[in-house]
Amino acid sequence: MGVYLNIDVSEYWCPNEECSDYGKKGKGNVVLKEEYGKKEQRLFRCKTCGHCFSETRGTIFFNLVTPKEEVLRTLAMSANRRFAHLKIRDF
């Protein structure tokens, strides 16, 4: 397990729609439960309802098999190609 004493959890919120703190950031209800896996993925727990969720829940990286860096690199290349295409077209 990694060291995670100073993790800022204020930007995370409970994704459980049945929780009274659903979608509310900075309520103090989200705590770091543990880190797991080879890349020490963070697992959070809502103190209000007890629901556990991954830090990537609700993102394009949730359940991703492809390395995150590869996805980011591909997205950056796509954006650069689109930009280059627009510049060439306008020329």
Residue 82's pLDDT is 59
Q: Do 50 and 77 share a domain, yes or no?
A: no
Q: Do 41 and 27 share a domain, yes or no?
A: yes
Q: Do 39 and 28 share a domain, yes or no?
A: yes
The burial class, CB within 10 Å (0-12 / 13-18 / 19+), for 13 is buried
Q: Do 28 and 16 share a domain, yes or no?
A: yes
Q: Is residue 55 within 8 Å of residue 41, measured between CB atoms?
A: yes
Q: Is residue 57 within 8 Å of residue 45, measured between CB atoms?
A: no
Which residues form the domain of 39? Answer: 1-58
pLDDT tens-place values along the chain, 91 residues long: 445 557 788 889 999 999 999 999 989 999 999 888 776 788 999 999 999 998 887 777 777 777 778 878 877 877 666 555 554 455 4
Residue 69's pLDDT is 84
Residue 91's pLDDT is 43
Number of domains into which the chain is organized? 2
